[in-house]
Amino acid sequence: MISVAEALDQLFVLAQPLGPEVVPLLEAHRRVLAQDVAATRDQPPFDGSAMDGYAVAEVAPGLRLRVIGESAAGHGFYHPVKSGEAVRIFTGAPVPEGAKAVVIQEDVSRDGDWITIGDSPEDNSHIRPAGGDFRVGDRIAAGRILGPNDIALMASMNIAQVSVARRPGVALISTGDELVMPGEIPGPDQIIASNTLGLHALMRDLGAEPRLLPIARDNEASLKTAFELARGADLIVTIGGASVGDHDVVANLAPQLGFEQSFYKVAMRPGKPLMAGRFGDAMMIGLPGNPVSAMVCGHVFIAPVIRAMLGLPAEPAPRRTGVLAEALPANGPREHYMRARTTADGLVAFGAQDSSLLSILGQADALIIRPRKDGPRAAGETVEYLPLR
């Protein structure tokens, strides 16, 4: 059995970045920028007015000036303004040549074509210089996850389409004769496929494009069909059938259907019977079926894999440190991801940690990480955890 860290190392060997695609800027939100972008213009493109007022060549208390024209946003005034003159101007309008400042309209009294500057005009010029926001060629570097602010900036740079990392296509295959989909009527010995939908949501959050395949039944023909339907995926994720029981189809049958295994079994709790490798052109991860095991493996392994496929740094899920509000007993030989909640006093692990209890996972907002063979921990000690929200 390998450690979580070793498993991640092997997963990063399997998970190669997928390369870019070009999308319209409107579709770029939450995508990973794959190539630097550069501004195609200066912003503002001209010296612009920051206020409504009068553009003038000189400012002095009591100065009387003749208004020779008007410059509004989208309607510039393209004659020089000289000593003794003023141009009526509005926010966002080009400042005429020769103007040194914009006197705000509150500091001016107007009489027909004449204005008089008041007793104490502000000394702020209220002119936004050309290129004051950015200049042609200013860059946004590849590798960032684009958010609303980036989109606004790129729009201002007149970038209408961007090169982003292609979304990993993930085929999700649940296995089990006992499973039905939510909304269906289960038989007396059946349950509802749950982690399948949770993993689908997780992958969407991560920027992948998950696809739920029909549930594979616990026989070779059904699993084979599922793998055929998975064709074209960058990543195949199977759920369940990963242990060594008679009915564990993935562990028993996937190798003869084309699965080339890199590793099987990780020293962790929950989630021990994890496997990974390649299936044809795709990477494959076989998750244990227990609902919490599958979800924890999603956070610990699949999230970093998807990020690596998106060209983000290949690194484990980011950990935080927190203080224990209650003592914890010694840990066994497997790294333990304990469902816990964060409170004002610190982290509190739930008493029940069985890998089937989704209700506890639903209440948890943290997974406390207990290293292998970690000794007992007292309240007040610092531990590492994975935030779940």
Q: Which residues bind ligand AMP (CB under 6 A)?
A: 174, 176, 178-179, 191, 193-196, 239-243, 248, 288-291
Instruction: Give the one entry of Mg ion, ligand AMP, none that residue 168 binds, where binding means its C-beta sits below a cut-off of 5 to 8 angstroms depending on kind.
Output: none
Instruction: Return d(Cα 317, Cα 58) in angstroms, integer.
Output: 60
Nearer Cβ to ligand AMP (49/293): 293
What is the full DSSP assignment across 199-242? HHHHHHHHT-EEEEPPPBPSSHHHHHHHHHHTTT-SEEEEES--
291, two tokens: 């609902």
What distance separates the 2 farthest-apart alpha carbons in the chain? 97
Least distance CB 247 / ligand AMP (angstroms): 7
Q: Which 237-256 positions form the footprint of Mg ion (CB under 5 A)?
A: 240-241
Q: Is 9 exposed, middle or buried (0-12, 13-18, 19+ CB in 10 A)?
A: middle
Instruction: Give the one entry of ligand AMP, Mg ion, none that residue 179 binds, where binding means its C-beta sits below a cut-off of 5 to 8 angstroms depending on kind.
Output: ligand AMP
Nearer Cβ to ligand AMP (99/295): 295
287, two tokens: 């998750």
Considering the rule CB under 5 A, would residue 176 count as an interface residue with Mg ion?
yes
Rounded to a whole number of angstroms, the distance between the first and last alpha carbons of the chain is 30
Q: Are strands 382-387 and 366-370 parallel, antiparallel or unpaired?
A: antiparallel
The total of other beta-carbon atoms located within 10 Å of residue 162's CB is 24
Least distance CB 241 / Mg ion (angstroms): 5
Instruction: Give the one entry of Mg ion, ligand AMP, none that residue 239 binds, where binding means its C-beta sits below a cut-off of 5 to 8 angstroms depending on kind.
Output: ligand AMP
147, two tokens: 């958010």
Least distance CB 239 / ligand AMP (angstroms): 5
Least distance CB 29 / ligand AMP (angstroms): 30
Instruction: Return d(Cα 324, Cα 368) in angstroms, integer.
Output: 9
Nearer Cβ to ligand AMP (150/178): 178
Per-residue mark of binding to Mg ion, 106-125 (x: CB under 5 A) = --------------------
Instruction: Return d(Cα 340, Cα 381) in angstroms, integer.
Output: 15
Considering the rule CB under 5 A, would residue 96 count as an interface residue with Mg ion?
no
Nearer Cβ to ligand AMP (50/257): 257
Residue 63's identity, in one-letter code, is L
Considering the rule CB under 5 A, would residue 210 count as an interface residue with Mg ion?
no
275: phi then psi, degrees, rounded to nearest 5: -135, 160
Instruction: Give the one entry of ligand AMP, Mg ion, none that residue 196 binds, where binding means its C-beta sits below a cut-off of 5 to 8 angstroms depending on kind.
Output: ligand AMP
Nearer Cβ to ligand AMP (191/327): 191
- Interface residues with Mg ion (CB under 5 A) are 176, 240-241
